[in-house]
Every structure is written in structure tokens, then in C-alpha cells.
Amino acid sequence: MTWHPLCDLDALAVGTPRGVRIDRVGICLVRTADEVFAVRGSLLLNPLIRISRNMAIVRQDGELPLINPLRLNDAGMAALQRLGRIRRIVSLGALHGIDDAWYRQQFQVEARILAALDHPNLPKVYDFFSDAGNEYMVMEYVEGDNLAALLQRQGGPLPERPVLLWADQVLDALQGIMQEILLNDYNDTISIYDEINRRPYVIVFVGVNGVGKTTSIGKIAHRLIKAGESVMIIAGDTFRAAAIEQLSIWADRAGATLIKSQQDADPASVIYDGIAAAIARSYDVVLIDTAGRQHTKDNLMKELSKIDRTIKKLLPEAPHQTLLVVDATTGQNAISQAVSFDQAIQLSGIVLSKYDGTSKGGIIFCLKHKLQLPVRMIGVGEGIDDLEDFNVNEFIQAFFANSDTKEDHE
């Protein structure tokens, strides 16, 4: 093992106008034929917090990649130049020894998303990896001050104009990240109508109470019938008489055939009879309504598993789609809902209901990350035609429609 000091401490001494100073000279182990050097310093995050900051220098054929650079004075720069020519400057972020798997997963997800982006307002991620129980991210080094140093130099609040400009840049970068999250695994527009490739094509709708399952079914039935498909709707919600009545109204409006039974009938039996009728009558599409249920009620969630098994008795490959209907105004509780429904009856996608000008629908990013579930359709109003295929770019643009502040400060 060979150790190489970089230079003397005095040569590396740096003032603190940018909050960085060198505490002492470090040396670094050479692992290969290439020479590796290190300089130890510290970084002032705010007047009360200072963290260690080490710069690594790798000499390869006279060229120097710098990792986590520190500011050097003239003498320090001269010593660096004697080592070789600077080839690349990068920043190495690390998550050290975190035992919680959730934090490690979050770090990896962030690294994977950032590595796929090439955005002018984001540092480029060159690589990320795990080593000895730690997670690392190799990023482009961006010269400049941190916010703590800017505030310290300003001696008070920063002027409004540059802050608003920075906010625009942050929003622009955030928009790029959100597009990458949603576009990573599926195309701009996905339509379940294009996926109907067998007869009958069975779609099951699930969700908690009051999210809009019945209205979503009516709107989808209307669109399918307009496209020339024959549609049967099965009223699998037998717990509430009002639910059957409401579904009857939507079936009539759409022109679909409705299969229903008496209140409190066994939902699985009603669905079995309905699918058998659809097969006998050669229907193209079967839409199945299920009772709204809280995801915390184990007996009701087990009933969904029973419905799934019942469908497979007649059509082993069905249901062909199982869609979770989510209210666009729902908060983080939608995640636990989705996890429970997915365990009971494997989900294939999401219908985002009640999505209008007052709701942002940001919960879909969490659902996409947690379960990799694509949004298939969004309900944008109360009318029978107010159900649209989900388009990622249009959704992102609408999400930021009221966030642009440029015109306010130009």
C-alpha cells in the first residue's frame, strides 16, 4: 500500500468567503496503479453547522479527475497543477450505513431518475453504486455558493427578483423530473380501448366508497358503445340498493345491458351469472362494479379475492383489467388503499376521478413509485363524455399551469 501527501498545509489554506476552509492535509490509499490523493476540509452550511468535506484527486496518465472539489488559494492551485491537468470535476454524494431499507430505496430511486435526466437546471448524475453497505452518487460539480453562504454574505433576506428567478428554475427542473417519473415505464397516452383483444373482455372496478366507480363505469360504457362494442355491466355492489339504482341510470344513458340482482345477494354469484350470460350472448366487453369498501376491512377485501377466483372459473385469463378508482383530491391515504387492493386483487391501473381545475392529482406520483401502476383514464367532469385517456405531457402541463412566475417579475 502506498500513501501520497498532496502538499503542505500552508499551501492549501483557504479563506472563508464561500464558507469552505481546509483543516489539514489528508493522504489517500492507492488501490491500483493510478495515484490517488486526498485533501480534507470542511464546509460551512450555516453559522452554526460545519461538516467535513474531502476532495479526492485521481492521477491517470497526467490527467486529474477531481471528486468533491475544495477551493484552493493560488499556492494550492499551483500544487494541483504540478500533479497534472484537470480533466473532470464531479461531486460524490453518499448515504452512509443507513440500516433502514426505505431510505436506501429512496436514494436509489432518486439516483436512477436523476441519471436519466439531462436538464440545464439539474446537475448531471454520471453514475451511482453501492459499496460496503453504503450508497454513492457521482454528480457533475457545479461551481457556486450554497444558500447559507449567500444569506450570510447578504446579511439578511435576499432580493425578491433573483429568488423568483431561482423559483422558476426549480419549477422547470421539477417538471422535468415529474415527466421522467411518469414516462419512464409507459407511453404518452395509453388507452384501454386499444387493448380489447378478446371477447368478452372483462374489466373490474374497485375502490373505497364515494370515489366515482359507478360514474366511471357509465362513461367508459358510453365510449365503448360509441366505438361499436357491445357492453354488459354487472352490478356487483349488492350492499346498497341506491348503488344498483344509480348504476341502472348510467347503463341506460350509455345504452349498455345491465345484469343485477336483489340487494344483499352474494356478489360473486351475481358476477358469475353475469359473465356466463355475456359468454352465451357474445358480448364484447363486461364492466363489473364492486361495492365500495374501506381497505382496512379484512372481510370485505377477502371478498374481492373471492370475486377474482369466481371470474377465473369461467375465464381463466380474466379479469383482463382491474382498475382502482382514486379520487384526485385524495391525499397519502390513497397509497395504503392501493396496497391493500393490490394484495386482494392484482391491480393493472388507475382511474383518476374528479380531476378538475381544483385538484392537482399529485398522488399518482406516489402510486407510480410504490406500485408501478399506470394511470389509464381521468374523469374531468360530470358529463357522460367527461372521461379522457391519460396523457402524461398534458397532465404535467396542467399541473404547472398556475405555477409560472416569470411574467410576474420580468
The answer to whether residue 35 scores a pLDDT higher than 60 is yes
Find the angle CA(32)-CA(37)-CA(42) to the nearest 5 degrees.
140
Rounded to an integer, the average pLDDT of 270-294 is 91
Report the pLDDT value the prediction gives residue 102, as an integer from 0 to 100.
Answer: 63
Among 270, 192, 210, which Cα is nearest to 238's?
A: 270
Confidence of residue 99 (pLDDT cuts 50, 70, 90): low
Q: What share of the chain is helix, strand, coil (3-state, %, to 5)?
A: 40, 25, 35
Q: Using CA atoms, how far apart are residues 197 and 170, in angstroms rounded to an integer?
A: 44
Confidence of residue 24 (pLDDT cuts 50, 70, 90): very low
Indicate yes or no: pTM above 0.75. no
Report the pLDDT value the prediction gives residue 203, as an integer from 0 to 100.
Answer: 95
Q: How long, in residues, is the chain?
A: 410
User: Model confidence over 1-23: pLDDT tens digits?
Assistant: 233 334 333 333 333 333 333 33
Confidence of residue 47 (pLDDT cuts 50, 70, 90): low
Rounded to an integer, the average pLDDT of 118-140 is 81
Rounded to an integer, the average pLDDT of 40-69 is 73
Beta strands in 229-280 (DSSP E): 231-236, 257-259
Rounded to an integer, the average pLDDT of 265-274 is 92
Strand pairing category for 387-391 and 189-190: antiparallel
Continuous H helices in 293-387: 298-314, 333-344, 363-371
Residue 83 three-state SS: helix
Query: Bigger pLDDT: 409 or 243?
Result: 243
Q: Give the chain's mean pLDDT.
A: 76
Confidence of residue 220 (pLDDT cuts 50, 70, 90): very high
Report the pLDDT value the prediction gives residue 403, as an integer from 0 to 100.
Answer: 52
Domains and CATH numbers, the chain: 3-149 (3.30.200.20), 189-399 (3.40.50.300)
In angstroms, the Cα distances linking 363 to 215, 333, 355, 380, 389 are: 21, 9, 12, 16, 18
In angstroms, the Cα distances linking 364 to 116, 329, 344, 374 are: 20, 11, 20, 8
